[in-house]
C-alpha cells in the first residue's frame, strides 16, 4: 500500500537536499533575466537561468505531483523497499551504487529523484526563458495564465516589466510559495501580479483585462497535480474542462489579442481546432539540454475583431 506521511517540514528538508538554492543565487539569476529582457546579454534558449527562482519557491510542492503508479516522489521514498522489488528499479539502484554514483557525490535523495525521473515521472517546468521568448515576441500589456503552475510565467513577466500578469491556479498549496515569489519579484519589477487561487472554470473573465493568453494546462491524465479535479475519461475532460475553459478564457480576451497554449497534440486536434480553427503559428521549444531531442509545441491563435467568440 502506498503511504505518504511526511510533514511539510520534512518534505522541505528533502527537497532542499536535492536542490539547495541560495537567495544570492536567485538574486543573480533575476538580474541576468532582466538584462536578457533588455537585450543586454545573450543567453542560449536552452539555458536554465531563472529555473532556480522557480525552484526556490515551488519545488517542494512540485514533488507532490503524482506520476505513474499513482505516486508522488515523497511516496516513492517512503515505499522504496516495495519499489526495490521491481527489477528495473533494483537495476537502477545497483547502477547508481556501482557506477554512476560510486564516489557518493550525490546524496540519497538526489539519487532517488533521478531514478524517479527516469522510471516514474519527471515533473517539468516551462522555463522562465521560454515564457520570456514568447512574451517578447508579442509585447503584451496584460497576460492571462489560467493554469499558472510553478511560477515561471510570473518571473518572466516581471523580468520584462510587463504591466500586468494574472495567474489562476487551482492548487491552493501554491498560495504561500507564490506570496514569497511575489515579494521577491516586487523588489525588481513594477509588474502587477494578480494571483487568483481558484478553479479557472469559476472565474468571470469579463471582469479581467488581458490582451494575451499563454498557459499550459494539464495533458489529460499524464500527471496529477495536487487539488485538481479528477475526470474519468478523456471525453469527460474535453466536455467539462477543456471546452468550457478555452471558450471562457478566449471570450474574455481583448479583440486583436493573442491566445497561445502549450498542450498535447490530441487536445489541439480534438478541442482547440474545433473551437478556434487552425492556429496561425506553432512554435517549438526544447524542454532542456538533457532532453534536447524532444520538443514541446506552443499553438497560437489571434482573436480577430469579427471573431464569433468576441
Ligand atoms: C502543466 S501544469 C502548468 C505548469 C506550468 N506551465 C509551469 O511550467 O509552471 C498545469 C497546472 O494547471 C493547474 N490546474 C489544473 N486544473 C486547473 C483549474 N481548473 N483551474 C486552475 N488551474 C488548474 C494545475 O494545478 C497545474 O499547476
Q: Is the CB of 181 under 6 A from ligand 1?
A: no
Q: Is 64 in the pocket of ligand 1 (CB under 6 A)?
A: no
Report residue 50 as a C-alpha cell.
531563472
Instruction: Let me know: does 262 contact 242? Beta carbons within 8 Å.
Output: no
Q: Please name the residue that has the C-alpha cell 467568440.
A: 309
Atom 1, ligand 1: residue with shortest CA distance = 218
Protein residue with its CA nearest to atom 6 in ligand 1: 216
Closest CA to 157 of 112, 200, 188, 183: 188
CA distance 47 to 167: 24
204, pLDDT greater than 70: yes
What spacing in Å lies between the alpha carbon of 16 and ligand 1's midpoint? 23
- Please state, for a pLDDT cut of 70, what percent of the chain lies above it: 94
DSSP, residue by residue, 217-277: ---TTSSB-TTPPP-SSHHHHIIIIIHHHHHHHHHTSPTT-EEEEE--HHHIIIIIHHHH-
> What distances in angstroms separate CA 213 from CA 145, 190, 202, one per listed residue?
6, 20, 17
Q: What is the pTM for the complete model shown?
A: 0.94
Name the more confident of 291 and 148.
Answer: 148
Count CB atoms within 10 A of the CB of residue 293.
7
Q: Which three cell numbers stand for residue 188?
A: 525588481
Using CA atoms, how far residue 34 sits from 22, 105, 130, 143, in Å, is 19, 34, 14, 18
Band (39; pLDDT cuts 50, 70, 90): confident
- Mean pLDDT of all residues in 239-248: 98
Specify the range with the lowest mean pLDDT, choosing from 26-35, 158-167, 213-222, 284-293. 284-293
All structural domains of the chain: 8-31+49-119 (no CATH), 128-302 (3.40.50.150)
Per-residue model confidence (pLDDT) at position 45:
74
Q: Say what the pLDDT of residue 55 is.
A: 98
Q: Tell me what percent of the residues of the chain surpass a pLDDT of 90.
A: 85
Residue 310 pLDDT > 50: no
Verify whether ligand 1 is closer than 6 Å to residue 200 (CB atom): yes
In short, whether 167's Cβ falls inside 6 Å of ligand 1 is: no
Handedness of CA 82, 86, 90, 93 (dihedral sign): negative
- pLDDT level of residue 293 (50, 70, 90 thresholds): low
Q: Is 196 in the pocket of ligand 1 (CB under 6 A)?
A: no
Region 119-148: mean pLDDT is 95
pLDDT band for position 44 (cuts 50, 70, 90): confident
- Strand ordering across the sheet containing 258-262: 192-196, 164-168, 142-145, 212-215, 258-262, 295-302, 281-286
Closest residue by Cα to residue 213 from 159, 250, 169: 250
Amino acid at each position: 500500500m502506498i503511504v505518504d506521511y511526511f510533514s511539510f517540514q520534512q518534505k522541505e528538508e528533502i527537497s532542499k537536499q536535492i536542490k539547495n538554492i541560495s537567495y544570492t543565487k536567485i538574486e543573480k539569476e533575476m538580474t541576468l533575466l532582466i538584462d536578457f529582457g533588455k537585450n543586454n546579454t545573450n543567453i542560449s534558449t536552452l539555458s536554465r537561468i531563472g529555473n532556480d527562482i522557480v525552484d526556490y519557491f515551488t519545488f517542494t510542492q512540485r514533488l507532490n505531483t503524482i506520476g505513474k503508479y499513482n505516486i508522488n516522489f515523497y511516496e516513492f521514498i517512503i515505499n522504496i523497499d516495495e519499489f526495490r522489488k521491481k527489477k528495473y528499479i533494483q537495476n537502477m539502484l545497483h547502477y547508481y551504487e556501482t557506477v554512476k554514483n560510486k564516489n557518493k557525490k550525490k546524496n540519497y535523495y538526489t539519487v532517488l529523484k533521478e531514478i524517479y525521473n527516469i522510471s516514474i515521472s519527471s515533473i517539468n517546468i516551462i522555463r522562465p526563458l521560454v515564457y520570456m521568448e514568447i512574451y517578447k515576441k508579442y509585447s503584451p500589456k496584460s497576460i492571462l495564465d489560467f493554469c499558472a503552475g510553478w511560477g515561471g510565467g510570473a518571473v518572466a513577466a516581471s523580468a520584462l516589466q510587463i504591466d500586468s500578469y494574472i495567474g489562476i491556479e487551482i492548487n491552493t498549496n501554491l498560495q504561500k510559495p507564490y506570496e514569497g515569489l511575489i515579494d521577491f519579484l516586487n523588489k525588481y519589477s513594477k509588474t502587477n501580479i494578480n494571483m487568483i487561487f481558484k478553479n479557472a472554470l469559476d472565474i468571470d473573465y469579463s471582469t479581467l483585462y488581458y490582451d494575451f493568453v499563454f498557459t499550459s494546462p494539464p495533458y489529460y491524465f499524464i500527471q496529477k497535480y495536487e487539488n485538481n479535479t479528477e475526470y474519468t475519461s478523456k471525453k469527460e475532460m474535453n466536455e467539462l474542462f477543456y471546452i468550457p475553459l478555452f471558450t471562457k478564457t478566449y471570450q474574455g480576451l481583448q479583440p486583436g489579442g493573442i491566445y497561445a497554449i502549450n498542450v498535447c497534440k490530441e487536445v489541439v486536434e480534438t478541442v482547440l481546432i474545433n473551437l478556434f480553427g487552425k492556429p496561425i503559428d506553432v512554435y517549438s521549444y526544447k524542454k532542456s539540454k538533457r532532453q534536447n531531442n524532444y520538443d514541446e509545441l506552443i499553438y497560437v491563435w489571434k482573436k480577430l475583431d469579427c471573431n464569433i467568440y468576441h
